[in-house]
Amino acid sequence: MKNWMRRAVGLAAAAVMTVSAAGLGVAAEEGANIVNVGVTDSLGSANPLVMDQTEINKHAAGLQFLPLVELDSQLNFEGMLADSVTTEDNQNFVVHIDDAAVWSDGTPVTAADLEFTMLRLTSPVLGNGTLMLYAFEGVGDDGFVEEGATSIDGIQILDDKTVQFTSKYPMALTTFENTYGRYLHVLPKHVLEGYSDAELQTLDWFNHPDVVSGPYMLTDYDPNHYLSFTANEAYWKGAPKIEKLNIKIVEGSQIYAGLQSGEIDITHHTMTAIPQEDYESIEALENVEAVYGLPITNQSVFIQTANVPDARVRQALLCAIDRNQLVQQLLKGHGEVVDGFLSSASPFYDEEIAPVTYDPERAKELLAEAGWDGSQTLRFYVNSGDSTFVNGAQVLVAQWAAVGIPVEITTVDLAMLMTVAGTTDYDIMAVQYTYAPVDPYPDVDWLLNGEGSWTGYTDASIKEALAGTQQTSDIEEIKGLYSVVDKKVQEDVPMFSAYIISPQGAVSNRLSGATPSAYGFFNHVQDWTIE
């Protein structure tokens, strides 16, 4: 997982105080063939070779450079650039690129493009380790190959449209598809092969590419304010009906006004953190439809165990907070409380794991057992773009203070939060994180993978259970293995879920073929139409 970075929500700069199509540098005339997607994430990079895996980065890249596959709204894998991904042994994965797939200049998309992209993504010069490509033969444990490498042992071209990936250890097909298939944005070798890896790292071409495989191409962007796309008329799945697509990065407090005025047409369930206090107002709007999603967005709270090493203190942090109160007051009941990683939307959810209840007296007992004297003030980093949890964090801090745990909140935008997350210079960190219901393995494995992870925590029984999930397709067996993980996490508390959100989305009545969803949102964006 990189999913760690995929699912969080971010902040738009405070300087953008109005929601205006004109502010995007595009016409705002009535009836224009333009759709505006309102989000509260901030863009990290437009370059797929160096970006991290937050949702907005993924979608910005995917609109232009299709991933191999994508989940649809019903959590089924759908071919995007590839028309099939198969395995017979859970170690050799055969990817076949759709025969019809072509670049916007008419050049066929080939296996050589995929190999070229993999070589760049594993380049130590580019240095992007967020895709966890160390899983494949020929790639070092750091996720990189030797500088200047021209091939990778675990990436073999079988023919012009077929590539075989070979992993170092057993991997479930769903893990390959979810972790790699959804995040490998294949790039045009014939356009980029003349540049060195160092040049590709900062290449301006990615800011306005003229050769893409997807439905849109980026024409202009400001990482804190907007992304503007124009339709790829040569899109091999059909020219988009919407000429221009803008992703407008705004503050959560601006979403309602934008929907009301018509300056925002649609929101996304994980990229758009709509303040809970606006839910009822949005439901009352006559020009939009409110759409609630499955409970899959986890307001995860990670504890850096290297800095908070006593499990009893971490248990006290959990016992001291009233999570049901958060769901009722912050989420207006649109959510649930669970322990561990899995929500009721997952086929592997164990409803028999009862969440730890609010018990401040038990928290005090645990602190006394740990010899906690209250002299350490814990540093709590929170995403400033998530206004709902900024409020929720204040509640948590007050409840922790009531049992003798002083905590200081620092609010930062998503990009800075991810920078902080790459260090151990925090004690507690909160971010919205969507663990793929059909395949939480990569995220969980990374987050509980010891030093260097967001928790710094590892456990042998968890490692064994996670490994087991990759060697069977039996849902009940996999469910039992994830139950082992969630029970151990509940016991040692390297992380906890503040709550799971059933997020609100909204779509304008003038837009057809588009529905707010966490998955499959842009899969058929070429079919969106304005009524």
Same domain, 436 and 475: yes
Give the end of a domain, one of 196, 225, 246.
Answer: 196
3-state DSSP assignment of residue 476: helix
Q: Are 479 and 438 in contact (CB under 8 A)?
A: no
450, part of any domain: yes
201, part of any domain: no
Q: What is the CATH number of the domain that holds 118?
A: 3.90.76.10
356, part of any domain: yes
Same domain, 316 and 461: yes
Same domain, 49 and 73: no
Q: How far apart are CA 294 and CA 281, in angstroms?
A: 21
Same domain, 333 and 402: yes
Residue 65 half-sphere exposure, CB side, CA atoms within 13 Å?
A: 24
Domain count, the chain: 3
Q: How far apart are CA 518 and CA 316, in angstroms?
A: 33
**Count of all residues that appear for the chain in the document:** 531
Give the end of a domain, one of 131, 165, 196.
Answer: 196
State which amino acid sits at residue 215.
P
Same domain, 13 and 74: no
How far from each other are the two terminal CA atoms of the chain, in whole angstroms? 38
Same domain, 285 and 337: no
Nearest CA-CA partner of 18 in 346, 213, 251, 338: 251
Same domain, 139 and 244: no
207, part of any domain: no
Same domain, 388 and 478: yes
How many Å is the maximal CA-CA distance in the chain? 69
Q: What is the CATH number of the domain that holds 481?
A: 3.10.105.10
Same domain, 178 and 82: yes
Residue 155: give the domain boundaries: 65-196
Give the end of a domain, one of 140, 166, 196.
Answer: 196
Same domain, 404 and 436: yes
Q: What is the CATH number of the domain that holds 16?
A: 3.40.190.10
Same domain, 70 and 60: no
204, part of any domain: no
Residue with tokens 């091999």: 236
206, part of any domain: no
pTM (two decimals)? 0.75
Residue with tokens 């071919």: 79
205, part of any domain: no
Q: Which residues have a Cβ under 8 Å from the Cβ of 163 and sit 6 or more positions away?
A: 94, 95, 97, 111, 114, 115, 155, 156, 157
Same domain, 139 and 219: no
pLDDT in tens, the chain (531 residues): 333 333 333 222 222 222 333 333 333 444 569 999 999 988 888 999 999 878 899 999 999 999 999 999 888 899 999 999 999 999 999 999 999 999 999 999 999 999 999 999 999 999 998 888 999 999 999 999 999 999 999 999 999 999 999 999 999 898 899 999 999 999 999 999 999 999 999 999 999 999 999 999 999 999 889 999 999 999 999 999 999 999 999 999 999 999 999 999 999 998 998 888 899 999 999 999 999 988 988 999 999 999 999 999 999 999 999 999 999 998 889 999 999 899 998 989 999 999 999 999 999 999 999 999 999 999 999 999 888 899 999 999 999 999 999 999 999 998 899 999 999 899 999 998 888 888 899 899 999 999 889 999 999 999 999 999 988 878 899 999 999 999 999 999 999 999 999 989 999 999 999 999 989 999 999 999 998
209, part of any domain: no
